[in-house]
Structure 1
């Protein structure tokens, strides 16, 4: 008797998401894609870039080269971003060629161009610091005198991690900073220095269907313009102000037509108001805590959103989660990263480590750690302080091979 082969079951091929940029955000988005049965296609400049090290589907090229952009987008369900630096005219051309760019160029420009963003948010009635465009240094002097001298000079495009931002304490400093930028042909704006209590971040996501989701509002801690720590949720944030920040994020995502994750960086002023500082339309440093502290990480959510899947649950898994960035030490330690990991895990086995595959360099973001509060951890000031100390201790050890509390890994009993 001849056996009759069973008919093969038809399977739907999984969608392809392409991401412009091969940095750590693309690397962690690829990790989320693997869990969803997908592969993230990456446009990376170098084979050693963080995402290029792990993704089997890599196009090497520049984000300013249309041919490279077209190649990475070929056959992809959606094209999204690890950074916002793709020229707007190239994005418009991609859309005209039928590429599903998510977020679309008309949304992304608000994360690329600070002046466009400030004007649009003002038009929408969103709270922003007072600002003005700068054509000449006289514009800066006039504005600085108007607001009391303390201002911020910002490049309209291209600044990040403190780059392209100058804090001026008086009109003379503001004019000097503006002169340097204008002499180099760099477009700038000037805005008032805000009397703030702290910086917050409202992270939300939006799908093409229009579904929105918001994570708990977090506090971000900056040092030299770089985020070094995130506390989720923000301590001592009233339910009213937290809800206001989340609703603002969702409103902006909808009004701007965002597809994917949107980070709304906020100032909480000393009188309890919220002002929008920056926008990012991609996974963001302030959302790294979600990898271990939320039911759905920002990276999975970004993929869900750009593919128009139903969005995931954003509930926090613990009363408090603290993220600390691992920044390169001034001098590279003699101890290998592998040995540092060994000692960290021996002493702090609950710490979740995420390294980016980068070479060590002073101040460089090499990775981050998440410390998720357990059942016995408290969300009051003392409990939050304890978790922050542990996160800082772990991150500092990984970057410096030194314990902040002078613990000796070779002689200690515990």
Structure 2
């Protein structure tokens, strides 16, 4: 009988784990949020991941539980562990990806460089932070934000009144995270995989381009990255993975500041948009590596297949019909570009797929990837 991997969440990350699982001879099962999910090919159960009984029943059908997202309540994850289910990453690590304030506190204990920050519960506290940081700051909800959601740049404490009101109405209380507005040159991401027995493997540090809070493009490796920058990024990610006990893929999002520092922005403990290029540009993709890691199998080589890989997200998609309706022109125009679709209906700003071009020349890869994304109807 094959090993059964259970993925909670039916999004595109679970979808892209399916081919890797098939190639490794694994049985992959998915607890999807709804019918017709991106990962419907492997969806064996549809249910609410906020419901303990639903999650426990799903876990009883697999050998290891992992995730498409970080939103499963910590209390449910601890119930799974208490009942002897293998959960990777486990709640002791995942809590720091689920709660940004906990993450900031723990990284501070580890001496990791970050933006200056504070946990605030009132307009007065927020106003004090703004005054000390030039009148501008980034405000974040501590839990639940992604793709630009739960994040806003503020210049007046009154701009947070709605979020603070929600905190006041929440019986569990809580706080908002406010951070300095970092003067950064660009955004980077460092992916690392770690297995329970301790082996780690890293991909090259990459540059990410955000538009409207959503990752739009990724250049691998980060253009112009010095050997020192690459070493620092790798050491930061390795330290975090080891000290937090992460198992699986960890993405560390970084700011490269104008004064040549690297500051940790966010953490994701699962395959990540900044690693999609690895499907076509690395000997081992982040999806195969994640499965290897959570099963404590030897990790694969992460050497690049070409000097440059460029990943462009397809955002929005065609005005009518489905993404596949535009395949003909796109594939004929750039036959060397790889297209990955997510089985989602097009909608403005929605990630419906991505394309990757690999090349010996960066400009060539950028041109070809952007061309195909545009032909597929992306909101570039």
Shorter-chain TM-score bucket reads over 0.9
SS at match of 1:385: helix
- 1:187-239 deviation per Cα after TM superposition (whole angstroms, max 9, x unaligned): 41101010000000000000000000000000000000000000000000101
Equivalent residue runs for 1:295-306 within 5 Å: 295-306=283-294
More moved, 20-29 vs 34-43: 34-43
Match for residue 217 of structure 2?
229
1:115 is the counterpart of 2:101 = yes
- 1:351-393 deviation per Cα after TM superposition (whole angstroms, max 9, x unaligned): 10000111111111100000011xxx33xxxxx2332222122
Equivalent residue runs for 1:280-359 within 5 Å: 280-329=268-317, 332-334=318-320, 337-359=323-345
1:46 is the counterpart of 2:24 = no
> CA separation in 1, counterparts of 2:353 and 2:26?
24
Match for residue 196 of structure 2?
208
Mapped contact 1:126–1:276 kept (Cα < 8 A): yes
> CA separation in 1, counterparts of 2:34 and 2:121?
38
Q: Which runs of 5+ in 1 are unaligned?
A: 1-12, 379-383, 405-414
Which of 241, 246, 250 does residue 262 from structure 1 map onto?
250
> CA separation in 2, counterparts of 1:140 and 1:92?
34
1:88 is the counterpart of 2:78 = no
Which of 160, 165, 173 does residue 178 from structure 1 map onto?
160
Mapped contact 1:59–1:68 kept (Cα < 8 A): no
Shift of 1:75: 4.1
Q: Go from structure 1 to structure 2 and tell me whether the alpha carbon gap of 1:75 and 1:144 turns closer, same or farther (over 3 Å shift).
A: same
Please report the TM-score for the alignment, with normalisation by the length of structure 1.
0.88
Equivalent residue runs for 1:10-409 within 5 Å: 13-52=1-40, 54-55=41-42, 58-168=44-154, 170=155, 172=156, 175-185=157-167, 187-329=175-317, 332-334=318-320, 337-373=323-359, 377-378=360-361, 384-399=362-377
Shift of 1:334: 4.2
Mapped contact 2:10–2:32 kept (Cα < 8 A): yes
> CA separation in 1, counterparts of 2:66 and 2:321?
38
- 1:111-138 deviation per Cα after TM superposition (whole angstroms, max 9, x unaligned): 0000000000000000111100111111
Mapped contact 2:323–2:341 kept (Cα < 8 A): no
Structure number with greater Rg is: 1
Q: Go from structure 1 to structure 2 and tell me whether the alpha carbon gap of 1:106 and 1:286 turns closer, same or farther (over 3 Å shift).
A: same
- Number of residue pairs matched by the alignment: 374
- 1:227-267 deviation per Cα after TM superposition (whole angstroms, max 9, x unaligned): 00000000001011111101110110000000000000000
Q: Go from structure 1 to structure 2 and tell me whether the alpha carbon gap of 1:96 and 1:271 turns closer, same or farther (over 3 Å shift).
A: same
SS at match of 1:37: coil
Mapped contact 1:205–1:261 kept (Cα < 8 A): yes
**RMSD of aligned residue pairs (Cα, Å):** 1.4
Mapped contact 1:59–1:71 kept (Cα < 8 A): no
> CA separation in 1, counterparts of 2:198 and 2:365?
36
Mapped contact 1:198–1:269 kept (Cα < 8 A): yes
More moved, 340-349 vs 300-309: 340-349
SS at match of 2:377: helix
> CA separation in 2, counterparts of 1:339 and 1:29?
25
Shift of 1:90: 0.8
> CA separation in 2, counterparts of 1:336 and 1:300?
28
SS at match of 1:184: helix
Shift of 1:77: 2.0
> CA separation in 2, counterparts of 1:344 and 1:65?
42
> CA separation in 2, counterparts of 1:338 and 1:189?
41
> CA separation in 2, counterparts of 1:366 and 1:99?
33
Shift of 1:179: 1.4
Q: Which runs of 5+ in 2 are unaligned?
A: none
> CA separation in 1, counterparts of 2:341 and 2:350?
12
More moved, 21-30 vs 74-83: 74-83
Mapped contact 1:199–1:221 kept (Cα < 8 A): yes
Shift of 1:46: 1.5
Please report the TM-score for the alignment, with normalisation by the length of structure 2.
0.96
Shift of 1:39: 2.1
Mapped contact 1:229–1:323 kept (Cα < 8 A): yes
